[in-house]
């Protein structure tokens, strides 16, 4: 797979959105929110942290900031990891996940893996193919991949 400059910029923007707001993962669930559980497969190592984002805005899904996004983290475990988003309001969300293996708060698009909702693999990622419709508690799965896989 040949990676162009626009793809690298889009992946860097997704990484910034997924990685930057770590504190938001500690927000307590709201009384009227639901739980979204994502089983993340093909986690390559137990190093670092998996970071997930549910973005409600298709216009900014592949940009550096997604206001109103829900964030969560989990320690990486080789094989599969379960990420749980709590207090999610019903709606449609683009799902992006990154494996921050060295815990530096940045995704290295060359060496670290990522995943999108519905196992979408187009680069740059598209909201339409990565989106999950949340109407109640939801369980889904996706698979990590690296550039060139």
Structural tokens at position 119: 């196992």
Question: Residues 58, 147: contact at Cβ < 8 Å?
Answer: no
Domain boundaries, the chain: 5-23+34-143
pLDDT score recorded for residue 11: 58
The whole-angstrom separation of Cα 11 and Cα 13 is 5
65-87 residue pLDDT tens = 899 999 999 999 999 999 999 99
CATH number of 5-23+34-143: 2.60.40.1120
48-67 residue pLDDT tens = 999 999 999 999 997 768 99
Residue 128's CB: how many other CB atoms inside 10 A? 13
Residues of the chain with pLDDT under 50: 1-2, 16, 19-29
């Amino acid at each position: 797979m040949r990676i162009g400059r626009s793809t690298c910029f889009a992946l860097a923007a997704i990484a910034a959105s997924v990685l930057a707001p770590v504190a938001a993962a500690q927000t307590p669930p709201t009384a009227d929110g639901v739980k979204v559980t994502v089983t993340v497969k093909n986690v390559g190592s137990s190093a670092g942290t998996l970071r997930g984002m549910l973005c409600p805005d298709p216009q900014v899904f592949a940009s550096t900031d997604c206001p109103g996004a829900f964030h969560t983290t989990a320690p990486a475990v080789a094989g599969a990891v379960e990420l749980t988003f709590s207090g999610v309001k019903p709606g449609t969300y683009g799902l992006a996940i990154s494996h921050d293996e060295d815990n530096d708060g940045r995704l290295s698009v060359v060496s670290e893996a990522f995943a999108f909702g519905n196992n979408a693999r187009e680069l740059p990622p598209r909201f339409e193919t990565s989106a999950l419709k949340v109407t109640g508690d939801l369980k889904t799965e996706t698979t990590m991949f690296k550039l060139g896989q």
